[in-house]
Amino acid sequence: MTQKIHPALIGFTVVVFFFLVGPLIIVVGSALSDTTYLTFPPQGLSLRWFANIFEISAFRRTILTSLQIAFLSTFIALLLGIPAAYALNRYRIQLPGWLATLFVLPVLVPELVLGFSLLKNVAVQFNTPIFLTLVFGHSLLVLPYVVRVISASLASFDFSIEEAAISLGSPPLRTFFTILLPNVRSGVIAAFILAFITSINDVSISIFLTGPGISTLPIQLLAHMEQFFDPTVASVSVLLMALTVGVMAIVERTLGLTFLAK
Give the shortest CB-55-to-another protein separation in angstroms: 20
According to the binding rule CB under 8 A, does residue 234 interact with another protein?
yes
Helices 130-154 and 57-90, packing angle to 10 deg: 40
Using the rule CB under 8 A, give the single segment among 43-51, 53-61, 152-160, 218-226 that binds another protein: 218-226
One of 35, 52, 183, 201 touching another protein (CB under 8 A): 201
Rounded Cα distance between 153 and 85, Å, is: 10
3-state secondary structure of 50: helix
According to the binding rule CB under 8 A, does residue 70 interact with another protein?
no
According to the binding rule CB under 8 A, does residue 164 interact with another protein?
no
CB atoms within 10 A of CB 67: 15
Residues 75-94 that bind another protein (CB under 8 A): 76, 79-81, 83-84, 86-88, 90-91, 94
According to the binding rule CB under 8 A, does residue 168 interact with another protein?
no
According to the binding rule CB under 8 A, does residue 112 interact with another protein?
yes
Taking the CA atoms of residue 132, residue 146, residue 174 and residue 159 in that order, the dihedral angle to the nearest 10 degrees is 160
According to the binding rule CB under 8 A, does residue 222 interact with another protein?
yes
One of 207, 232, 235, 255 touching another protein (CB under 8 A): 207
Rounded Cα distance between 17 and 79, Å, is: 38
According to the binding rule CB under 8 A, does residue 117 interact with another protein?
yes
According to the binding rule CB under 8 A, does residue 240 interact with another protein?
yes
Give the shortest CB-193-to-another protein separation in angstroms: 9
Give alpha helix (H) positions in 91-129.
98-108, 111-118
Q: How far is CA 167 from CA 32, 86, 90, 249, 261, in A?
A: 62, 19, 16, 40, 39
The closest alpha carbon to 70, from 160, 230, 194, belongs to: 194
According to the binding rule CB under 8 A, does residue 58 interact with another protein?
no
Give the shortest CB-253-to-another protein separation in angstroms: 13
Residues across the chain: 262
Using the rule CB under 8 A, give the single segment among 55-63, 107-115, 148-156, 181-189 that binds another protein: 107-115
